[in-house]
Structures are given as C-alpha cells and as structure tokens.
Chains A and B, each alone.
Chain A
Amino acid sequence: MTKSIRTGKIVRNVVKYVVLVLLAVIFLFPVVELILKSFMTDLDIRFGLLFPTSFTIKPYVDALDAEYFWWLKNTLIIGVINMVGITLSSSLCAYGFAKLRFKGREAFFSVVLATLMLPAICMQIPLYKMYYGMGWTNSWLPLIVPGFFGGGALNIFLMRQYMRGIPDTICEAAKIDGANKFVIYAVIIMPMCLPIAGYVMLTAFLGCWNDFMTPLLYINEPSIYNLSLGLYYRYVNNAGSIPPANVQMAAATIMLIPCAVLFFFQKVLINGVSVGAVKG
C-alpha cells in the first residue's frame, strides 16, 4: 500500500521532470543556436549546420570593431541613467497614488492609466517635431528625459498595485510617530517595495537596452546610435553587403551578455514579483 503510493510519487516526479526538461530544451534552443552560430566558420554557416565542426573566434574579431564598442558604451550610459530615473520617478508617483489621500487622486490616476492605451507611434511623430524645435533630435535627450517624468504609466501601475498591498496601518503608525509623507515613502514604503523596485529597475534597463523604435525615429547620427540601432543598420537595413550569419550572431551574442548578467543577479525576478512579503 505505502509502496504503491511511493511509486506513484516517483512516477509523477519523473513525468514532471520530463516535461520541464523538454520545455527547457525548446526555450534554450534559440539562445544556444545563437551562441553556437557565433563560433562557426564561414563554411559551417554555408552548410547550415546546427553544431559547428570547429570553433573559431574570427566572427567576434570581425564583429567587434571600434564602432561596436562605441555603441555599447552609448547603450550602457543611456540604460543606467534611465534605470535610476524611471525607478525614482515611478515609485514617487506610485506612492502618491497608493498611499496618499488627496482630492483628484483617482482622476489623475485614471489619466495616467489612460496613457497606457495611447499608441506610442501616435505621439512619436509630433514629438519629433517638438524635439526638433528644441534641438533635441540627434541627441540622447529624447531617450533619457521622458524617463524622469513618471517613468511610464506601466511602472507606476505595477508599483501602485504592490504598494496597495502594504497595510495602511503601517503608514498611520509612522504618521502618529511624527513621520512626514516623504519620510514614510523613503524609510517605510520603499524598503518594503524593494522586490518590485528591483523588477522596475531591471525592466527599465532592459527596455532601454532593447529600445529600438525611439532611437530609430530620433537619431540618425551613427556616433550616437545605441547598440540596437547600430545592429539594425548593419545587419538588417543595410544597402551594402550584409556580413555573414556568424558575424551577425557574434555581435548579437555580446549584446546578450549584460542582460544575462543582470538577470542572474536579480533573485527577485527568479522568485517572481512577490506580494507575499508585505503580509503581517
């Protein structure tokens, strides 16, 4: 009797692992193929092999020229500035919407939420005109400044949802102890929001790293391209000859590294954006 229960458990576990591993193979396939192709010789590429017959770093030598590193540096700078700006700005606003009571709060929040629904393209064309008038086109300002103004409705929404889970009694207790709104935000709410703040920081950086549409519209000066735009003009929209697949994959593999590093340090993400921490 107990034995059959135990066998049943083992069988269930084996089935679970088989499913998990099969799915893992599927999800790993694109990334693994990307990395493998980046080490292939031109000949292996021509035969369309899945596994290289010999490894070579020549694609990397070809892909990583001075211009590539310049774009990499540009992307890192823009990403870090946005990470700080977006997290700071969106958490301040989310705190206002989640924990402060003032006239018009719900109305303002509805307006913020409504901006989620506005198609980016709808704004980006007139924004070009505005940036052009201010002399901002062909600079990083269009990629940086908007982040400091609210950090995106999406992030505010997420942070607010999280903060709503924090009991109001905690804030009220602090208020009775003489803490003002800003102290409550900085000392009580933010430390409890670290998981969601970490998530917002990560997505802000990755969003910036991946951002392609904004630079595509506002930047056409190669020296200030970010990596996305640089790779696009090199490997997708290039009137001249496009370098072979292994070189493209080498350039792409390097672009993956910062995301991967950041991700592995981000325990929060792996455990999910948890709301459970605020109970009690």
Chain B
Amino acid sequence: MRAQTSKKTRAAISWLSSFVFILPVVAGILMFTMFPMVSSLIYSFTRTYTTVQGVGEWVGFENYGMIFNEYWPEIGKSLGTTFLFTVISLPLTLVLSFGLALLLTKDVKGIKGFRVVYYLPVMIPTVVSGILWSMLANGSDMSAFNMILNACGIPSFTFYDSADTAMFTFIVMGLFTIGSSMILWIAQIKSVPTALYEVADLEGASAFVKLIKITIPMCTPIIFYNLIMGLINSLQVFSNVITLNIEPSGKEALDFIVVQIYDFYNSTDLSMACALSWILFIIIAILSGLTFKFNKWVYYGEDV
C-alpha cells in the first residue's frame, strides 16, 4: 500500500519535473495568445470603438453581417488580393529557393561567399526595404530600375506607381528574400547521407533521378515547414506594404487583408477589426489544417 502511494507520488513528481520545461510556453500561450484571442472574439460581437474604452454593447453577428454586406466590395477585393499573392508567391518562393539551395550545395570554390551574398537581402530591415524598394522601383523615369530599362532601350515601366503593376512588382521584390528559405534547404540537402547517392551512382541513376528519388524525399521536413510558414506569412502580409512610400493608386492595389484590419483599428472601429481578424484566423486555420492533414509524405530521420 505504502509502496504504491510513493510510486504514485514519484510519477507525479516526474510529470511535474517534465512539465516545468514547457511551463514558460504554456503560461505564455494562456497570457499572450488564448486570452487575447478570446477577448478578440468577444469584441467582435460587440460595438466597441477604441482600445481604451471598456467592452461595448453586445450586437451579436452585426459586425460579421456588415463585413459581408456594406463592406464586402472592399473586403472581398482585399481577400482576392491576399489570395492572389499567396497563390503566386508561395510556389514561386518554394521552387526558386530550393533551386538556389541546390546550386549552393555544389562543390565549387567560394560557394560560402555566394551563400552570404544571396542571403544579404534578407537582412534588410522591413522599414529599410520599404523605403528602398519604393525608391528603386517607382514609376518615374529617374528610378533605378527605369534608368536600367531605358539604358537598354526599353521604355519606362510603372512598377509600384500603378494599380496594374503594383502587385507584380511586390511579388518580384519579395523574391529577393528567398535566401531565408534557402538557408534551411541547404542544411537539409547537405545532411542527406552520401551513401544514398553512392548506391544510386552504382545503379547508374541520372542526376535528375537522384534529385527526384533522393534529395527531394529527404528534404520533405523542410518542404513542409516552408510550405506552412509561407502560407501563414503570405496571408498576413502587412509591414512590407505599409512601409512602402508609393503613389496611392499603387497602394490601393496592395490592399492586403491585414492592412484592412489595421485601417479599421486606426479608424477606431475595434470590433470590426476583431471580427475581420477572426475571419482571417478561420481561413488560415482551415488552410493550415488541410496541409497538416496531408503530411504523411514528410519523412523524419529517426525512422531509419
């Protein structure tokens, strides 16, 4: 009997001593995630104007109704913009950063120097890149890109300063930071056991077959990681847009959903901002949930 209780106590102590390690994140999630998420849900059902004021009057689904009625022309367009960006930018980033990493794991002299150079644009702080790109890629004849185009005999392009070309410009400029995904690929590619390639060589496999059958399957954890994070981040584009100093017509074309939420927040319509951010949350949850559900293709090393 006595031995049994002490066994139980020991088990409890053991559980606690393990739990202590994850206590910071559990407490953090309760304080900085759960609590605000729930409050935000509550606010979305009320009419609350500012952050300083207490919780306003309960209005049920009125805010959500307004999103899908009065505000729908703007918000629907904004959702369209956000999806368009995600659908184009995410696969492009994945494929290009993987290609770059393949190139940078080749056994060539000075390869480390190239890695530094390719990673360089990632280090440009958001605000700086906003200032920089609005200067290099604006529609005037004096912008750096137009100077280059003109020198090649090509007429000036509108870049950020027109509603038609702003999104294209934004996506292309975003590609300068593929170095951040590239760094993760490089490690994964290099950690593939060379024995696998040696066997493949003996069997006479071509470079393409080795890529498809060895490198890519061994890189699935990073594919998965880059896919999920890329999805979540591109649905939440915000800072990169509002730090741009460009013509209003260009900025209107870059009406990402988080920018809309921030506008509601700024125009002291807190409950609308919360309602819209919950809609965004549901969209992200569904899309990431689907990605997680189909992650059987991810290969973890310890199964070897």
Interface residue ranges, A against B (CB under 8 Å): 13, 16-17, 19-20, 23-24, 27-28, 30-31, 33-34, 37, 46-50, 89-90, 92-93, 95-97, 100-103, 105, 108, 111-112, 115-130, 132, 146, 148-151, 153-154, 156-158, 161, 164-165, 167, 180-181, 185, 206, 209-210, 212-213, 227-229, 231-232, 235-236, 242, 245, 248-249, 252, 255-256, 259-260, 263-264, 269-276
- On whether the beta carbons of A102 and B24 are closer than 8 Å, the reply is no
**Chain B interface (Cβ within 8 Å of chain A)?**
14-15, 17-22, 24-29, 31-33, 35-37, 39-40, 43, 51-52, 100, 103, 106, 108, 112, 114-121, 123-133, 135-136, 140-144, 146-148, 176, 179, 183-191, 221, 225, 228-229, 232, 235-236, 238-239, 242-245, 258, 261-262, 265, 270, 273-274, 277-278, 280-281, 284-285, 288, 300-302
Residues of A within 8 Å of B37, CB to CB, are 118, 122-123, 126
B266 to chain A, nearest CB (A): 10
Interface of A is mostly: helix
Q: Do the beta carbons of A126 and B187 come within 8 Å of each other?
A: no
Tell me the total A-B contact number using a CB cutoff of 8 A. Answer: 286
Nearest B residue to A211 via CB reads B126
Name which of A118, A227, A264 has the most chain B CB atoms within 10 A of its CB: A118
Closest-by-CB residue of B relative to A113 is B292
B22 touches A252 (CB 8 A): no
Q: Which B residue sits closest to A88, measured CB to CB?
A: B24
Inter-chain contacts of A273 with B (CB < 8 A):
183-184, 187
Q: What are 30 inter-chain pairs, A to B, with CB distance below 8 A?
A: A16-B106, A19-B103, A24-B114, A27-B121, A30-B132, A31-B120, A33-B144, A92-B22, A97-B22, A105-B18, A115-B29, A120-B236, A122-B37, A123-B33, A125-B36, A125-B277, A127-B32, A127-B36, A149-B25, A149-B28, A164-B302, A212-B243, A232-B127, A255-B127, A271-B190, A272-B189, A273-B183, A273-B184, A273-B187, A275-B191
**How long is the Cα–Cα vector from A274 to B130 in the complex, in angstroms?**
32
- Beyond A48-B142, A149-B32, 12 extra complex contacts between A and B, CB < 8 Å: A20-B108, A20-B114, A23-B118, A105-B22, A115-B33, A116-B228, A122-B281, A125-B40, A228-B125, A248-B131, A272-B183, A273-B184
Q: How far apart are the CA atoms of A263 and B135 in the complex, in Å?
A: 26
**A260 CB, min distance to chain B CBs, angstroms:** 6
Instruction: Tell whether, in the assembled complex, residue A275 and residue B301 are in contact, meaning their CB atoms are under 8 Å apart.
Output: yes
Please give, as numbers and ranges, the residues of chain B lying within 8 Å of A161 by CB-CB distance. Answer: 221, 225
Set A13, A122, A129, A130: member contacting B277, Cβ < 8 A: A122
Contacts of B236 in A (CB 8 A): 119-121
Q: Which residues of B are found within 8 Å of A263, using beta-carbon distances?
A: 116, 119, 123
A185 contacts which chain B residues (CB < 8 A)? 21
B125 contacts A156, CB within 8 Å? no
Residues in chain A near residue B273, CB distance under 8 A: 121, 125
- The reply to whether B131 and A108 contact each other, CB–CB distance below 8 Å, is no
In the complex, A59 Cα to B36 Cα: how many Å? 44
Task: Take A16-B108, A48-B141, A121-B238 as given contacts and tell me if A272 and B187 are in contact as well, using a CB distance cutoff of 8 Å.
Answer: yes
In terms of DSSP, what is the predominant structure of the interface of chain B? helix
Measured in the bound complex, the distance between the Cα atoms of B246 and A236 in whole Å is 9
Instruction: Name B150's closest neighbour in chain A (CB-CB).
Output: A48
List of A residues within 8 angstroms of B280 by Cβ: 119, 121-122
B232: chain A residues within 8 A (beta carbon): 116-117
Query: Whole-angstrom distance from the CB of A59 to the nearest CB of chain B?
Result: 13
Would B144 and A50 count as touching, CB distance under 8 A?
yes
A117 touches which one: B106, B121, B285 (CB < 8 A)?
B285
- Residues of chain B within 8 A (CB-CB) of A259 are 123, 125
Q: A227 — which chain B residues lie within 8 A by C-beta?
A: 125, 127
Contact call B119/A269, Cβ cutoff below 8 A: yes
Q: Give A122 to B40 CA distance when docked, in angstroms.
A: 7
* Contact A126 to B108, CB < 8 A, known contacts A102-B15, A112-B25: no
Chain B nearest CB, measured from A179 CB (Å)? 13
B119 lies within 8 A of A149 (CB): no
Q: Which residue of chain B is the closest to A254 with respect to CB atoms?
A: B128
CA distance A102 to B191 in the complex (A): 30
Chain B residues within 8 Å of A123, by CB: 32-33, 36-37, 40
CB distance from A143 to the nearest CB of B (A): 12
Contacts of A272 in B (CB 8 A): 183-190
A181 touches B18 (CB 8 A): yes
What residues on A are CB-neighbors of B29 within 8 Å? 111-112, 115, 149-150
Task: Report the bound CA distance from A167 to B274 in whole Å.
Answer: 45
Q: Which residue of A lies closest to B191 (CB)?
A: A276
Which residues of chain A are within 8 angstroms of B129 by Cβ–Cβ distance? 30
Q: Write out the residue numbers on chain A whose beta carbons fall within 8 Å of the beta carbon of B112.
A: 270-271
Looking at the assembled complex, report how far the CB atom of B247 sits from the nearest CB atom of chain A, in whole angstroms: 14
Whether A212 contacts B123 by the Cβ 8 Å rule is no
Residue of B nearest to A155 (CB): B25
- Nearest CB in chain B: distance from A106 CB, A: 12
Complex Cα gap A232–B112 (Å): 34
